[in-house]
């Protein structure tokens, strides 16, 4: 004995096929027929013929032949898109209009963790170094500008994946090294570096996957 066909969706209650069709069931089927006609899947004659069948239908089984070729009885399982991991946070609700000043004279200036990156950062390094880790930072603007002067000193920046970096610095017996940045992701912040490196250097690093774990899932952070 052949198995009964599964009942189509969007045409009535999921119940036994000999259940008496209600007015609400007929309204759903009528809406489906009108939509199919508007989309060109039914001709005018077919639409009118099925409306007559609908008005004469008494049970849910009577509704199935009217819509069996218009609905997907067994829809294919939807494949969920992989969830994109947030690699940066932009929060402009508490933006500080004053520039953030970093000074390293015969010393150092470090920022790491979940610190707030202001729209403008002014940096001065004289025989000193600066280390900025932006991987877990909160950006207060979509465009962040770091302007500075590094003399016999340097600036090291670690950035998250997907960020855009614009190098507008000038090197005098020094220079800027930008590596492993990759393509910017949609909605990512932009980091603009301006200034002069005199007998100093600026290093900007994006995440670099370890060769040992290439092609394998790793729970550790990407190396820099």
Report DSSP letters for 67-128, one per residue: HTTTS-SSPPPP-PPPPPPP--EE--TT---SPEEEEEESSEEEE-SS-EE-SEEEEEEES-
Question: Could you state, in order of their start, the residue ranges of all structural domains in the chain?
Answer: 23-67, 89-209
Tokens for 52?
Answer: 């007559």
Under the banding of pLDDT at 50, 70 and 90, the label for residue 7 is very low
Q: What CA–CA distance (Å, rounded) separates 121 from 15?
A: 66
CA dist 94 → 86, 98, 114, 119 (Å): 20, 12, 15, 11
DSSP code at position 43: -
* Confidence at residue 17, expressed as pLDDT on a 0 to 100 scale: 56
- Give all strands (DSSP E) within 97-209, no chain letters: 100-105, 108-111, 116-117, 120-126, 129-133, 138-139, 143-151, 154-158, 164-172, 175-179, 190-198, 201-205
Q: What CA–CA distance (Å, rounded) separates 88 from 136?
A: 7
Tokens for 82?
Answer: 């992989």
pTM of the model: 0.55
The more confidently predicted of residues 222 and 129 is 129
CA angle 188, 192, 193 (to 5 degrees): 145
Q: What are phi and psi of 207, to 5 degrees?
A: -70, 135
Tokens for 169?
Answer: 């610095």
Per-residue pLDDT tens digits for 55-111: 888 887 888 888 888 766 555 555 544 444 446 788 888 889 899 999 999 999 999
Q: What's the whole-number average pLDDT of the chain?
A: 80
């Amino acid at each position: 004995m052949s198995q009964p066909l599964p009942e189509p969706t969007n045409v009535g209650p999921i119940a036994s096929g000999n259940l008496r069709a209600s007015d609400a069931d007929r309204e759903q089927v009528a809406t489906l027929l009108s939509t199919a006609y508007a989309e060109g899947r039914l001709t005018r004659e077919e639409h009118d013929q099925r409306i007559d069948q609908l008005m004469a239908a008494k049970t849910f089984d009577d509704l199935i032949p009217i819509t069996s070729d218009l609905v997907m009885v067994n829809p294919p399982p939807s494949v969920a898109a992989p969830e994109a991991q947030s690699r940066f946070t932009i929060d402009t609700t508490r933006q500080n209009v004053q520039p953030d000043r970093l000074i390293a004279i015969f010393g150092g200036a470090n920022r790491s963790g979940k610190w707030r990156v202001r729209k403008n950062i002014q940096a001065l390094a004289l025989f000193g170094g600066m280390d900025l880790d932006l991987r877990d930072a909160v950006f207060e603007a979509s465009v962040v500008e770091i302007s500075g002067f590094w003399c016999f000193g340097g600036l090291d920046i670690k950035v998250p994946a997907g960020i855009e970096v614009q190098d507008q610095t000038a090197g005098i017996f020094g220079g800027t090294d930008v590596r492993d940045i990759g393509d910017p992701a949609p909605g990512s912040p932009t980091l603009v570096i301006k200034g002069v490196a005199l007998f100093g250097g600026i290093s900007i690093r994006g995440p670099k996957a370890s060769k040992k774990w290439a092609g394998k899932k790793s729970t550790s952070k990407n190396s820099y």
